[in-house]
Structure 1
Amino acid sequence: MKADVQENKSLVLIVDDEPFIRMILRHFLEREGYKIVEAQNGIEALTVFNQLHPDIVLLDAMMPDMDGFECCTQLHSLDCSKYTPVLMVTGLEDQESVDRAFEVGAMDYVTKPIHWAVLRQRVKRLIEQSHLQQKLEAVNVELQRLVTIDGLTQVPNRRRFEEYFNQEWQRMKRDQQPLSLIVCDVDFFKLYNDTYGHRVGDRCLQEIAKAIKEIIKRPADLVARYGGEEFAVILPNTDTEGATYVADKICDAIRTLAIPHKNSQVSPHVTISVGFTTEIPQPDSDLEEMIAAADRALYQAKAAGRDRYSSNH
Protein backbone atom coordinates (compact mmCIF):
# COMPACT_ATOMS: atom_id res chain seq x y z
CA MET A 1 0.00 0.00 0.00
CA LYS A 2 2.82 2.37 0.92
CA ALA A 3 4.47 1.90 -2.50
CA ASP A 4 1.25 2.95 -4.30
CA VAL A 5 1.06 6.14 -2.26
CA GLN A 6 4.67 6.94 -3.20
CA GLU A 7 3.89 6.44 -6.88
CA ASN A 8 0.82 8.69 -6.84
CA LYS A 9 2.20 11.66 -4.91
CA SER A 10 0.88 14.96 -6.23
CA LEU A 11 3.45 17.59 -7.17
CA VAL A 12 3.16 21.00 -5.51
CA LEU A 13 4.96 24.06 -6.91
CA ILE A 14 5.78 26.58 -4.16
CA VAL A 15 6.48 30.10 -5.45
CA ASP A 16 7.81 32.57 -2.86
CA ASP A 17 10.74 34.99 -2.83
CA GLU A 18 11.47 34.27 0.86
CA PRO A 19 13.60 31.11 1.38
CA PHE A 20 12.33 30.66 4.95
CA ILE A 21 8.66 30.60 3.84
CA ARG A 22 9.49 28.12 1.06
CA MET A 23 11.30 25.92 3.57
CA ILE A 24 8.45 25.75 6.10
CA LEU A 25 5.87 25.17 3.38
CA ARG A 26 8.07 22.41 1.92
CA HIS A 27 8.49 20.66 5.30
CA PHE A 28 4.79 20.84 6.07
CA LEU A 29 3.64 19.59 2.65
CA GLU A 30 6.25 16.83 2.45
CA ARG A 31 4.94 15.52 5.77
CA GLU A 32 1.47 15.50 4.17
CA GLY A 33 2.83 13.19 1.44
CA TYR A 34 3.33 15.66 -1.46
CA LYS A 35 6.31 16.01 -3.78
CA ILE A 36 7.61 19.57 -3.81
CA VAL A 37 9.31 21.81 -6.35
CA GLU A 38 10.22 25.44 -5.64
CA ALA A 39 10.56 28.71 -7.53
CA GLN A 40 11.82 31.96 -6.01
CA ASN A 41 10.09 34.34 -8.42
CA GLY A 42 7.41 34.54 -11.08
CA ILE A 43 9.73 34.07 -14.08
CA GLU A 44 11.23 30.92 -12.57
CA ALA A 45 7.72 29.70 -11.69
CA LEU A 46 6.63 29.88 -15.34
CA THR A 47 9.69 27.90 -16.47
CA VAL A 48 9.26 25.20 -13.80
CA PHE A 49 5.53 25.01 -14.51
CA ASN A 50 6.15 24.43 -18.22
CA GLN A 51 8.70 21.70 -17.53
CA LEU A 52 7.03 19.77 -14.71
CA HIS A 53 3.24 20.45 -14.95
CA PRO A 54 2.56 20.42 -11.19
CA ASP A 55 -0.81 19.39 -9.73
CA ILE A 56 -1.18 22.68 -7.80
CA VAL A 57 0.66 26.00 -7.41
CA LEU A 58 1.06 27.74 -4.05
CA LEU A 59 1.74 31.30 -5.11
CA ASP A 60 2.91 34.21 -2.96
CA ALA A 61 1.01 37.38 -3.83
CA MET A 62 3.75 39.88 -2.92
CA MET A 63 7.00 39.30 -4.81
CA PRO A 64 9.46 41.73 -6.44
CA ASP A 65 9.62 42.13 -10.26
CA MET A 66 6.55 39.98 -11.07
CA ASP A 67 3.98 39.78 -8.29
CA GLY A 68 1.71 36.78 -7.72
CA PHE A 69 -1.23 38.39 -9.52
CA GLU A 70 0.75 38.92 -12.73
CA CYS A 71 2.33 35.46 -12.40
CA CYS A 72 -1.11 33.87 -12.02
CA THR A 73 -2.35 35.67 -15.16
CA GLN A 74 0.64 34.38 -17.14
CA LEU A 75 0.29 30.84 -15.78
CA HIS A 76 -3.28 30.73 -17.08
CA SER A 77 -2.15 31.70 -20.57
CA LEU A 78 -0.02 28.52 -20.80
CA ASP A 79 -1.54 25.60 -22.73
CA CYS A 80 -0.79 23.07 -20.01
CA SER A 81 -2.39 25.09 -17.20
CA LYS A 82 -6.00 24.09 -17.90
CA TYR A 83 -6.49 21.85 -14.87
CA THR A 84 -3.90 23.24 -12.46
CA PRO A 85 -5.38 25.14 -9.52
CA VAL A 86 -3.53 28.16 -8.11
CA LEU A 87 -3.76 28.75 -4.35
CA MET A 88 -2.71 32.30 -3.53
CA VAL A 89 -0.76 32.81 -0.29
CA THR A 90 -1.15 36.40 0.80
CA GLY A 91 -0.51 38.67 3.75
CA LEU A 92 -3.30 40.88 2.42
CA GLU A 93 -6.86 40.23 3.35
CA ASP A 94 -8.46 43.46 2.14
CA GLN A 95 -11.37 43.05 -0.26
CA GLU A 96 -9.49 44.47 -3.23
CA SER A 97 -6.65 41.91 -2.95
CA VAL A 98 -9.05 39.01 -2.47
CA ASP A 99 -11.15 40.13 -5.49
CA ARG A 100 -8.01 40.54 -7.57
CA ALA A 101 -6.75 37.06 -6.67
CA PHE A 102 -9.97 35.50 -8.01
CA GLU A 103 -10.04 37.82 -11.05
CA VAL A 104 -6.59 36.62 -12.20
CA GLY A 105 -7.71 32.99 -11.90
CA ALA A 106 -6.70 31.84 -8.42
CA MET A 107 -9.01 29.06 -7.21
CA ASP A 108 -8.64 29.99 -3.52
CA TYR A 109 -6.38 31.84 -1.12
CA VAL A 110 -4.89 31.48 2.36
CA THR A 111 -3.56 34.32 4.46
CA LYS A 112 -0.27 34.71 6.32
CA PRO A 113 0.45 33.80 9.06
CA ILE A 114 -0.59 30.43 7.64
CA HIS A 115 -3.24 28.41 9.43
CA TRP A 116 -1.82 24.93 8.73
CA ALA A 117 -5.03 22.94 9.15
CA VAL A 118 -6.77 25.27 6.64
CA LEU A 119 -3.86 25.02 4.17
CA ARG A 120 -3.87 21.23 4.42
CA GLN A 121 -7.58 20.99 3.59
CA ARG A 122 -7.47 23.56 0.78
CA VAL A 123 -4.53 21.91 -1.00
CA LYS A 124 -6.19 18.50 -0.69
CA ARG A 125 -9.58 19.75 -1.90
CA LEU A 126 -8.21 21.72 -4.88
CA ILE A 127 -6.15 18.75 -6.12
CA GLU A 128 -9.15 16.41 -5.75
CA GLN A 129 -11.41 18.85 -7.65
CA SER A 130 -8.85 19.20 -10.42
CA HIS A 131 -8.51 15.41 -10.84
CA LEU A 132 -12.29 15.02 -10.81
CA GLN A 133 -12.68 17.71 -13.49
CA GLN A 134 -10.15 15.91 -15.72
CA LYS A 135 -12.02 12.62 -15.30
CA LEU A 136 -15.38 14.24 -16.07
CA GLU A 137 -14.02 15.86 -19.22
CA ALA A 138 -12.56 12.53 -20.40
CA VAL A 139 -15.96 10.87 -19.82
CA ASN A 140 -17.71 13.68 -21.72
CA VAL A 141 -15.34 13.32 -24.67
CA GLU A 142 -16.06 9.57 -24.77
CA LEU A 143 -19.84 10.17 -24.51
CA GLN A 144 -19.62 12.68 -27.35
CA ARG A 145 -17.76 10.09 -29.43
CA LEU A 146 -20.38 7.44 -28.69
CA VAL A 147 -23.22 9.78 -29.63
CA THR A 148 -21.66 10.36 -33.07
CA ILE A 149 -20.55 6.79 -33.88
CA ASP A 150 -22.73 4.12 -35.47
CA GLY A 151 -22.77 1.20 -33.02
CA LEU A 152 -22.79 -1.55 -35.65
CA THR A 153 -20.16 -0.36 -38.14
CA GLN A 154 -18.08 1.90 -35.85
CA VAL A 155 -17.98 4.68 -38.44
CA PRO A 156 -19.59 8.10 -37.80
CA ASN A 157 -23.40 8.07 -37.87
CA ARG A 158 -25.95 10.19 -39.76
CA ARG A 159 -25.93 12.87 -37.07
CA ARG A 160 -22.14 13.27 -37.32
CA PHE A 161 -22.37 13.24 -41.13
CA GLU A 162 -24.82 16.16 -41.10
CA GLU A 163 -22.74 18.15 -38.58
CA TYR A 164 -19.51 17.59 -40.49
CA PHE A 165 -20.95 18.13 -43.95
CA ASN A 166 -22.37 21.48 -42.82
CA GLN A 167 -19.00 22.46 -41.30
CA GLU A 168 -17.01 21.52 -44.43
CA TRP A 169 -19.60 23.10 -46.74
CA GLN A 170 -19.12 26.42 -44.91
CA ARG A 171 -15.33 26.03 -44.95
CA MET A 172 -15.18 25.26 -48.68
CA LYS A 173 -17.58 28.15 -49.36
CA ARG A 174 -15.25 30.49 -47.44
CA ASP A 175 -12.09 29.16 -49.14
CA GLN A 176 -13.75 28.66 -52.56
CA GLN A 177 -12.44 25.11 -52.80
CA PRO A 178 -14.17 22.02 -54.24
CA LEU A 179 -16.16 19.71 -51.97
CA SER A 180 -17.08 16.21 -53.12
CA LEU A 181 -19.83 14.03 -51.71
CA ILE A 182 -20.12 10.30 -52.43
CA VAL A 183 -23.18 8.22 -51.51
CA CYS A 184 -23.09 4.42 -51.68
CA ASP A 185 -25.84 1.83 -51.48
CA VAL A 186 -25.28 -1.94 -51.11
CA ASP A 187 -26.96 -3.66 -54.07
CA PHE A 188 -29.94 -5.93 -53.33
CA PHE A 189 -29.25 -5.79 -49.60
CA LYS A 190 -32.84 -6.63 -48.64
CA LEU A 191 -32.51 -9.82 -50.68
CA TYR A 192 -29.18 -10.49 -48.95
CA ASN A 193 -30.82 -10.19 -45.51
CA ASP A 194 -33.74 -12.37 -46.60
CA THR A 195 -31.32 -15.02 -47.90
CA TYR A 196 -28.69 -15.11 -45.14
CA GLY A 197 -30.42 -13.54 -42.13
CA HIS A 198 -29.89 -10.27 -40.28
CA ARG A 199 -26.86 -11.36 -38.26
CA VAL A 200 -24.95 -12.22 -41.43
CA GLY A 201 -26.32 -8.98 -42.93
CA ASP A 202 -24.84 -7.03 -40.02
CA ARG A 203 -21.44 -8.66 -40.55
CA CYS A 204 -21.63 -7.80 -44.24
CA LEU A 205 -22.21 -4.10 -43.41
CA GLN A 206 -19.29 -4.17 -40.96
CA GLU A 207 -16.98 -5.57 -43.66
CA ILE A 208 -18.15 -2.96 -46.17
CA ALA A 209 -17.68 -0.07 -43.69
CA LYS A 210 -14.16 -1.33 -42.92
CA ALA A 211 -13.28 -1.62 -46.63
CA ILE A 212 -14.49 1.93 -47.37
CA LYS A 213 -12.67 3.28 -44.31
CA GLU A 214 -9.40 1.75 -45.52
CA ILE A 215 -9.66 3.73 -48.77
CA ILE A 216 -10.39 7.06 -47.07
CA LYS A 217 -7.01 8.00 -45.61
CA ARG A 218 -6.87 11.80 -45.30
CA PRO A 219 -7.67 13.22 -41.84
CA ALA A 220 -10.25 15.70 -43.22
CA ASP A 221 -12.24 13.03 -45.11
CA LEU A 222 -15.18 11.35 -43.39
CA VAL A 223 -16.94 8.01 -43.98
CA ALA A 224 -20.36 7.74 -42.35
CA ARG A 225 -23.23 5.29 -42.21
CA TYR A 226 -25.96 7.35 -43.82
CA GLY A 227 -28.84 4.92 -43.39
CA GLY A 228 -29.54 1.16 -43.30
CA GLU A 229 -27.26 -0.07 -46.09
CA GLU A 230 -26.19 3.40 -47.25
CA PHE A 231 -22.80 4.99 -46.63
CA ALA A 232 -21.63 8.52 -47.42
CA VAL A 233 -18.14 9.94 -47.89
CA ILE A 234 -17.28 13.64 -47.49
CA LEU A 235 -14.14 14.72 -49.38
CA PRO A 236 -13.13 18.35 -48.75
CA ASN A 237 -10.66 19.98 -51.17
CA THR A 238 -11.41 17.27 -53.72
CA ASP A 239 -12.26 17.89 -57.38
CA THR A 240 -14.24 15.64 -59.76
CA GLU A 241 -11.13 13.72 -60.76
CA GLY A 242 -10.31 12.93 -57.12
CA ALA A 243 -13.89 11.90 -56.36
CA THR A 244 -13.99 9.65 -59.47
CA TYR A 245 -10.83 7.89 -58.27
CA VAL A 246 -12.32 7.29 -54.78
CA ALA A 247 -15.71 6.13 -56.17
CA ASP A 248 -13.95 3.64 -58.46
CA LYS A 249 -11.83 2.34 -55.58
CA ILE A 250 -14.92 1.84 -53.38
CA CYS A 251 -16.69 -0.24 -56.05
CA ASP A 252 -13.53 -2.26 -56.59
CA ALA A 253 -12.89 -2.79 -52.88
CA ILE A 254 -16.40 -4.23 -52.34
CA ARG A 255 -15.97 -6.58 -55.33
CA THR A 256 -12.63 -7.70 -53.89
CA LEU A 257 -14.29 -8.64 -50.58
CA ALA A 258 -16.09 -11.33 -52.64
CA ILE A 259 -18.88 -11.75 -50.07
CA PRO A 260 -21.21 -14.42 -51.55
CA HIS A 261 -24.67 -13.17 -52.60
CA LYS A 262 -26.37 -15.98 -54.51
CA ASN A 263 -29.62 -14.06 -55.07
CA SER A 264 -28.03 -10.84 -56.37
CA GLN A 265 -29.21 -9.97 -59.85
CA VAL A 266 -25.86 -8.47 -60.93
CA SER A 267 -23.12 -10.69 -59.48
CA PRO A 268 -22.55 -13.86 -57.42
CA HIS A 269 -21.00 -11.52 -54.81
CA VAL A 270 -22.08 -8.43 -52.88
CA THR A 271 -21.64 -5.23 -54.92
CA ILE A 272 -22.24 -1.55 -54.32
CA SER A 273 -23.70 1.32 -56.35
CA VAL A 274 -22.06 4.72 -55.94
CA GLY A 275 -23.13 8.25 -56.89
CA PHE A 276 -21.13 11.42 -56.37
CA THR A 277 -21.13 15.12 -57.01
CA THR A 278 -18.50 17.86 -56.73
CA GLU A 279 -19.15 21.53 -56.13
CA ILE A 280 -17.42 24.72 -55.07
CA PRO A 281 -20.10 26.03 -52.68
CA GLN A 282 -21.35 29.49 -53.67
CA PRO A 283 -23.09 32.09 -51.46
CA ASP A 284 -26.43 31.28 -53.14
CA SER A 285 -25.96 27.50 -53.45
CA ASP A 286 -27.73 25.01 -51.23
CA LEU A 287 -26.22 22.21 -49.17
CA GLU A 288 -29.41 20.11 -49.42
CA GLU A 289 -29.31 20.42 -53.20
CA MET A 290 -25.80 18.96 -53.23
CA ILE A 291 -27.00 15.92 -51.26
CA ALA A 292 -29.93 15.58 -53.71
CA ALA A 293 -27.49 15.74 -56.66
CA ALA A 294 -25.37 12.91 -55.19
CA ASP A 295 -28.59 10.90 -54.64
CA ARG A 296 -29.58 11.44 -58.29
CA ALA A 297 -26.16 10.18 -59.37
CA LEU A 298 -26.65 7.09 -57.18
CA TYR A 299 -30.02 6.48 -58.86
CA GLN A 300 -28.33 6.74 -62.29
CA ALA A 301 -25.73 4.13 -61.25
CA LYS A 302 -28.54 1.78 -60.18
CA ALA A 303 -30.55 2.43 -63.35
CA ALA A 304 -27.46 1.68 -65.45
CA GLY A 305 -27.15 -1.80 -63.89
CA ARG A 306 -25.65 -1.33 -60.40
CA ASP A 307 -22.09 -2.37 -59.33
CA ARG A 308 -20.74 0.92 -60.73
CA TYR A 309 -20.39 4.63 -60.02
CA SER A 310 -22.02 7.62 -61.65
CA SER A 311 -21.50 11.37 -61.21
CA ASN A 312 -23.80 14.37 -61.25
CA HIS A 313 -22.33 17.82 -61.90
Structure 2
Amino acid sequence: MIYSFNNSGFRDPETGVYNQAYFMEVFHREWFRHLRDQQTLVLLYVHPQLCENSAEPSVRESYTQSIQQGLLRNTDMLARLNSNTFAVGLFNTDDAGTKVVVERIREQLNSFSNSYMQQHGIGVDSKIVACICQPQKSLKPEMLFMTVDDLLLHPEKHKKAEQHQDCLIEKIH
Protein backbone atom coordinates (compact mmCIF):
# COMPACT_ATOMS: atom_id res chain seq x y z
CA MET A 1 0.00 0.00 0.00
CA ILE A 2 1.29 3.47 -0.90
CA TYR A 3 1.17 6.04 1.89
CA SER A 4 -0.83 9.17 1.09
CA PHE A 5 0.38 12.53 2.38
CA ASN A 6 -3.07 14.03 1.79
CA ASN A 7 -4.31 12.63 5.10
CA SER A 8 -1.14 12.84 7.14
CA GLY A 9 -0.64 14.78 10.36
CA PHE A 10 0.34 18.06 8.73
CA ARG A 11 -2.88 18.53 6.76
CA ASP A 12 -6.22 19.84 7.97
CA PRO A 13 -8.62 16.91 7.46
CA GLU A 14 -11.58 19.11 6.49
CA THR A 15 -9.92 21.32 3.87
CA GLY A 16 -6.78 19.46 2.83
CA VAL A 17 -4.52 22.49 3.37
CA TYR A 18 -1.71 22.58 5.93
CA ASN A 19 -2.67 22.70 9.59
CA GLN A 20 -1.64 25.45 12.01
CA ALA A 21 1.16 23.49 13.70
CA TYR A 22 2.91 22.66 10.43
CA PHE A 23 2.44 26.19 9.09
CA MET A 24 3.98 27.71 12.22
CA GLU A 25 6.94 25.35 12.02
CA VAL A 26 7.67 26.17 8.38
CA PHE A 27 7.01 29.90 8.83
CA HIS A 28 9.42 30.04 11.77
CA ARG A 29 12.11 28.29 9.72
CA GLU A 30 11.51 30.65 6.78
CA TRP A 31 11.67 33.66 9.12
CA PHE A 32 15.25 32.83 10.08
CA ARG A 33 16.23 32.05 6.49
CA HIS A 34 14.85 35.43 5.38
CA LEU A 35 16.66 37.11 8.28
CA ARG A 36 19.92 35.58 7.13
CA ASP A 37 19.33 36.36 3.43
CA GLN A 38 17.89 39.86 4.04
CA GLN A 39 14.65 39.05 2.18
CA THR A 40 11.09 40.13 2.86
CA LEU A 41 8.18 37.85 3.60
CA VAL A 42 4.44 38.31 3.97
CA LEU A 43 1.87 36.90 6.34
CA LEU A 44 -1.61 37.11 4.90
CA TYR A 45 -4.91 36.16 6.56
CA VAL A 46 -8.04 35.34 4.59
CA HIS A 47 -11.24 35.35 6.61
CA PRO A 48 -14.52 34.24 5.00
CA GLN A 49 -17.76 35.51 6.50
CA LEU A 50 -19.31 32.06 6.88
CA CYS A 51 -22.09 31.19 9.28
CA GLU A 52 -20.90 28.25 11.40
CA ASN A 53 -24.29 26.52 11.30
CA SER A 54 -24.69 26.66 7.54
CA ALA A 55 -21.11 26.05 6.40
CA GLU A 56 -20.70 22.41 5.52
CA PRO A 57 -17.14 21.07 5.12
CA SER A 58 -17.33 21.06 1.32
CA VAL A 59 -17.77 24.86 1.36
CA ARG A 60 -14.49 25.36 3.22
CA GLU A 61 -12.76 22.88 0.94
CA SER A 62 -13.99 24.73 -2.18
CA TYR A 63 -13.10 28.04 -0.56
CA THR A 64 -9.53 26.94 0.10
CA GLN A 65 -9.23 25.61 -3.43
CA SER A 66 -10.15 29.09 -4.66
CA ILE A 67 -7.41 30.63 -2.51
CA GLN A 68 -4.94 28.01 -3.73
CA GLN A 69 -5.72 28.93 -7.35
CA GLY A 70 -4.57 32.48 -6.58
CA LEU A 71 -1.19 31.18 -5.41
CA LEU A 72 1.01 30.38 -8.36
CA ARG A 73 4.39 29.79 -6.75
CA ASN A 74 5.28 26.46 -5.16
CA THR A 75 6.79 28.28 -2.19
CA ASP A 76 3.54 30.04 -1.27
CA MET A 77 1.93 28.23 1.64
CA LEU A 78 -1.73 28.03 2.67
CA ALA A 79 -2.91 26.78 6.07
CA ARG A 80 -6.01 26.71 8.20
CA LEU A 81 -5.53 28.52 11.49
CA ASN A 82 -8.99 28.05 12.98
CA SER A 83 -12.53 27.38 11.82
CA ASN A 84 -12.77 30.48 9.62
CA THR A 85 -9.29 31.95 9.22
CA PHE A 86 -6.71 30.84 6.70
CA ALA A 87 -3.09 31.96 6.66
CA VAL A 88 -0.90 32.38 3.61
CA GLY A 89 2.87 32.64 3.79
CA LEU A 90 4.46 34.45 0.86
CA PHE A 91 8.21 34.14 0.92
CA ASN A 92 10.77 36.33 -0.81
CA THR A 93 8.29 38.87 -2.16
CA ASP A 94 7.89 42.64 -2.07
CA ASP A 95 5.04 45.19 -1.99
CA ALA A 96 4.21 44.85 -5.67
CA GLY A 97 4.28 41.04 -5.56
CA THR A 98 2.06 41.05 -2.50
CA LYS A 99 -0.51 43.28 -4.18
CA VAL A 100 -0.55 41.00 -7.24
CA VAL A 101 -1.14 37.89 -5.11
CA VAL A 102 -3.85 39.63 -3.06
CA GLU A 103 -5.60 40.70 -6.25
CA ARG A 104 -5.42 37.15 -7.69
CA ILE A 105 -6.84 35.70 -4.47
CA ARG A 106 -9.57 38.34 -4.43
CA GLU A 107 -10.55 37.50 -8.03
CA GLN A 108 -10.74 33.79 -7.20
CA LEU A 109 -12.81 34.44 -4.08
CA ASN A 110 -15.17 36.73 -5.98
CA SER A 111 -15.68 33.96 -8.52
CA PHE A 112 -16.30 31.47 -5.68
CA SER A 113 -18.79 33.86 -4.04
CA ASN A 114 -20.70 34.38 -7.30
CA SER A 115 -20.92 30.62 -7.86
CA TYR A 116 -22.01 30.04 -4.27
CA MET A 117 -24.64 32.78 -4.63
CA GLN A 118 -26.10 31.10 -7.72
CA GLN A 119 -26.39 27.80 -5.84
CA HIS A 120 -27.46 29.01 -2.38
CA GLY A 121 -28.87 32.51 -2.87
CA ILE A 122 -26.21 34.16 -0.70
CA GLY A 123 -22.60 35.07 -1.41
CA VAL A 124 -19.53 34.65 0.78
CA ASP A 125 -17.79 37.88 1.69
CA SER A 126 -14.12 37.72 2.63
CA LYS A 127 -11.65 39.92 4.41
CA ILE A 128 -7.98 39.81 3.41
CA VAL A 129 -5.25 41.34 5.54
CA ALA A 130 -1.51 41.17 4.95
CA CYS A 131 1.64 42.36 6.61
CA ILE A 132 4.94 42.68 4.75
CA CYS A 133 8.04 42.26 6.87
CA GLN A 134 11.79 42.19 6.56
CA PRO A 135 12.86 40.03 9.51
CA GLN A 136 15.33 41.66 11.86
CA LYS A 137 17.11 40.39 14.96
CA SER A 138 15.20 42.87 17.13
CA LEU A 139 11.85 41.67 15.75
CA LYS A 140 10.25 38.38 16.78
CA PRO A 141 8.03 36.38 14.39
CA GLU A 142 5.24 36.55 16.99
CA MET A 143 5.03 40.31 16.42
CA LEU A 144 4.09 39.72 12.79
CA PHE A 145 1.27 37.36 13.80
CA MET A 146 0.02 39.83 16.41
CA THR A 147 0.01 42.65 13.84
CA VAL A 148 -1.96 40.62 11.30
CA ASP A 149 -4.42 39.55 14.01
CA ASP A 150 -4.87 43.20 14.93
CA LEU A 151 -5.40 44.13 11.26
CA LEU A 152 -8.09 41.46 10.99
CA LEU A 153 -9.89 42.28 14.23
CA HIS A 154 -9.45 46.07 14.38
CA PRO A 155 -9.03 47.48 10.85
CA GLU A 156 -10.27 50.89 12.00
CA LYS A 157 -7.00 51.39 13.92
CA HIS A 158 -4.90 51.29 10.79
CA LYS A 159 -4.30 54.21 8.49
CA LYS A 160 -5.44 52.48 5.29
CA ALA A 161 -8.72 51.16 6.72
CA GLU A 162 -10.85 53.83 5.07
CA GLN A 163 -9.31 53.09 1.66
CA HIS A 164 -9.63 49.31 1.66
CA GLN A 165 -12.50 47.86 3.65
CA ASP A 166 -11.90 44.29 2.47
CA CYS A 167 -8.11 44.33 2.20
CA LEU A 168 -5.45 45.87 4.39
CA ILE A 169 -1.73 45.70 3.75
CA GLU A 170 0.71 47.00 6.36
CA LYS A 171 4.48 46.97 6.75
CA ILE A 172 6.47 46.04 9.82
CA HIS A 173 9.98 47.40 10.22
Structure 2 unpaired stretches of 5+:
none
- Which has the higher Rg, Structure 1 or Structure 2? 1
After TM superposition, the score normalised by the length of structure 1 is 0.47
Runs of 4+ in 1 over 2 A off after TM superposition: 142-145, 296-299, 303-307
Contact 1:251–1:308 (Cα < 8 Å) also in 2: no
Q: 1:278 aligns with which of 132, 137, 141?
A: 132
Question: Which structure has the highest helix share of the two?
Answer: 1
After TM superposition, the score normalised by the length of structure 2 is 0.83
Q: 1:208 aligns with which of 51, 59, 63?
A: 63
> How do 1:131-142 and structure 2 match up within 5 A?
142=4
Verify: 1:252 aligned to 2:114, yes or no: no
Aligned-residue RMSD, C-alpha: 2.5
Larger relative contact order, structure 1 or 2 (CA cutoff 8 Å, min sep 6): 2
Secondary structure of 1:182's counterpart equals strand
Aligned to 1:41: none
Contact 1:251–1:307 (Cα < 8 Å) also in 2: no
Verify: 1:238 aligned to 2:96, yes or no: no
Contact 2:14–2:61 (Cα < 8 Å) also in 1: yes
Verify: 1:172 aligned to 2:34, yes or no: yes
Instruction: Tell me which amino acid in the other structure corresponds to 2:23.
Output: F
Q: Which moved more, 1:239-248 or 1:209-218?
A: 239-248
CA distance in 1 between partners of 2:69 and 2:19 (Å): 17
Cα 1:179–1:305 change in 2 (3 A) is closer
Cα 1:218–1:310 change in 2 (3 A) is same
Report the alpha carbon displacement of residue 273 of structure 1 after superposing the two structures with TM: 0.1
Instruction: Tell me which amino acid in the other structure corresponds to 1:179.
Output: L
Share of identical aligned residues, percent? Answer: 24
> How do 1:299-310 and structure 2 match up within 5 A?
299=153, 300=155, 308-310=166-168
Report the alpha carbon displacement of residue 312 of structure 1 after superposing the two structures with TM: 1.9
Verify: 1:163 aligned to 2:18, yes or no: no
CA distance in 2 between partners of 1:238 and 1:145 (Å): 30
Instruction: Tell me which amino acid in the other structure corresponds to 1:286.
Output: K
Report the alpha carbon displacement of residue 249 of structure 1 after superposing the two structures with TM: 2.0
Cα 1:145–1:244 change in 2 (3 A) is same
* 1:286-307 deviation digits (Å, cap 9, x = unpaired): 1000011122222318x76997
> How do 1:15-164 and structure 2 match up within 5 A?
142=4, 146-164=8-26
Structure 1 unpaired stretches of 5+:
1-134, 263-267
